[in-house]
């Protein structure tokens, strides 16, 4: 029986590419989503991957959603924490609401998803947790204090959990994408993209969602069993750590 993988934010953008790639690699995949029912329905119709709706910002909703996935598909062996939002604004104009909304989804959401699954992984002596952080969690970004803080927190959590999970056969790693050619990035004004973004990327192009997905598939595999607590920077050379 194939291993079960759960991808949060798994029906659109990078998450959709990850879900599809994991299915192609032989996993039974569940894709979580928060709000866009039409997109989720279209994704399931196209891929055959079942979508489950809940907010990762709500711990009990995560626990209940995970229980539903495991009842339907089996015990979760691979968790990809991909769900994330932005509420950008310069810090002097940032409201507590914008701060908390991003922290609750992008950082607390990783705890809310991983915590209910962790004990089962420990008991089975196997697990793969892959956290999708960001280049801006590594270097920071003006106008994204909330997002940068949350994504940096994801990296810290990755490193701590890697140490806790190692003896139990659980690896925990992070991937930090740079500018990836999702709908959101492609919607940026072309002049801004060509003058202010692409010149910062040494390879001279946006990344592709599939390129992030291939990193996930590797980290989820048995071949990556000796890799834990690591951060893969997939940013076209824009930032080195």
DSSP string over 213-227:
HHHHHHHHSGGGTT-
Q: Are 54 and 62 in contact (CB under 8 A)?
A: yes
Q: Are 57 and 103 in contact (CB under 8 A)?
A: no
What pLDDT, on a 0 to 100 scale, did the predictor assign at position 119? 98
Dist. CA 156–CA 77, nearest whole Å: 22
Taking 70 as the pLDDT cut, the residues of the chain under it are: 1
What pLDDT, on a 0 to 100 scale, did the predictor assign at position 6? 99
What pLDDT, on a 0 to 100 scale, did the predictor assign at position 184? 78
Q: Are 7 and 83 in contact (CB under 8 A)?
A: no
Dist. CA 187–CA 172, nearest whole Å: 32
Instruction: Collect all residues with Cβ–Cβ distance below 8 Å to 117 and sequence separation of at least 6.
Output: 6, 66, 76, 79, 127, 129
In the DSSP assignment, the letter for residue 159 is: H
SS3 letters across 26-64? CCEEEEEECCCHHHHHHHHHHHCCEEEECCCCCHHHHHH
What pLDDT, on a 0 to 100 scale, did the predictor assign at position 186? 82
What pLDDT, on a 0 to 100 scale, did the predictor assign at position 30? 98
What pLDDT, on a 0 to 100 scale, did the predictor assign at position 107? 98
Dist. CA 32–CA 80, nearest whole Å: 10
Please state, in angstroms and as integers, the Cα–Cα distance from residue 171 to each residue in 25, 58, 64, 83, 216, following that order: 19, 25, 24, 20, 12
Whether 59 is catalytic? no
Instruction: Tell me the longest C-alpha to C-alpha distance in the chain.
Output: 53
- Model confidence, pTM: 0.97
What pLDDT, on a 0 to 100 scale, did the predictor assign at position 241? 86
pLDDT in tens, 87-111: 999 999 999 999 999 999 999 999 9
Both tokens assigned to 86: 């932005």
């Amino acid at each position: 029986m194939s291993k079960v993988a759960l991808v949060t934010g798994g029906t659109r953008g990078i998450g959709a590419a990850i879900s599809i790639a994991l299915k192609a690699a032989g996993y039974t995949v569940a894709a979580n989503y928060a709000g866009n029912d039409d997109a989720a329905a279209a994704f399931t119709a196209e891929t055959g991957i079942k979508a489950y709706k809940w907010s990762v910002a709500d711990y009990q909703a995560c626990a209940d959603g995970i229980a539903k996935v495991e009842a339907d598909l089996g015990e979760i062996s691979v968790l990809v924490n991909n769900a994330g939002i932005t509420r950008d604004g310069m810090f002097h104009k940032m409201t507590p609401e914008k701060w908390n909304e991003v922290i609750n989804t992008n950082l607390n959401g990783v705890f809310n998803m991983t915590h209910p699954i962790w004990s089962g992984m420990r008991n089975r002596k196997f697990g793969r947790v892959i956290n999708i952080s960001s280049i801006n969690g590594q270097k920071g970004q003006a106008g994204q204090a909330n997002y940068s803080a949350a994504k940096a927190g994801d990296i810290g959590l990755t490193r701590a959990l890697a140490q806790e999970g190692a003896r139990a056969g659980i690896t925990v790693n992070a991937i930090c994408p740079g500018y990836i050619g999702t709908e959101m990035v492609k919607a940026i004004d072309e002049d801004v993209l060509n003058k202010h973004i692409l010149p910062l990327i040494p390879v001279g192009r946006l990344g592709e969602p599939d390129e992030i997905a291939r990193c996930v598939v590797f980290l989820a595999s048995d071949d990556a069993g000796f890799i834990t607590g690591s951060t893969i920077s997939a940013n076209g050379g824009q930032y080195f750590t």
